[in-house]
């Protein structure tokens, strides 16, 4: 279980960073759109 969990944890941490990069454009668009009303 420890071997599997360590692998999953490492993947999750790296995936989270890439998710932030991928979603940055969309988040920025939504914030600007909402600010305009």
Residue 35 has pLDDT above 90, yes or no: no
Question: Given this model, what pLDDT does residue 4 score?
Answer: 95
What is the residue extent of each domain of the chain?
A: 1-36
Question: Given this model, what pLDDT does residue 20 score?
Answer: 87
C-alpha distances out from residue 17 to 3, 4, 13, 23, 24, Å: 22, 21, 7, 10, 11
Report d(CA 1, CA 34) in Å as an integer: 45
Mind listing the pLDDT tens digit for each residue in 2-29?
999 999 999 998 898 888 888 998 999 9
Question: Given this model, what pLDDT does residue 37 score?
Answer: 72
Report d(CA 9, CA 15) in Å as an integer: 10
Question: Given this model, what pLDDT does residue 16 score?
Answer: 87
pTM of model > 0.75: no
Report d(CA 33, CA 30) in Å as an integer: 5
């Amino acid at each position: 279980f420890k071997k599997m969990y360590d692998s999953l944890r490492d993947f999750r941490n790296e995936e989270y960073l890439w998710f932030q990069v991928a979603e940055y454009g969309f988040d920025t668009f939504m914030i600007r759109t909402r600010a305009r009303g």
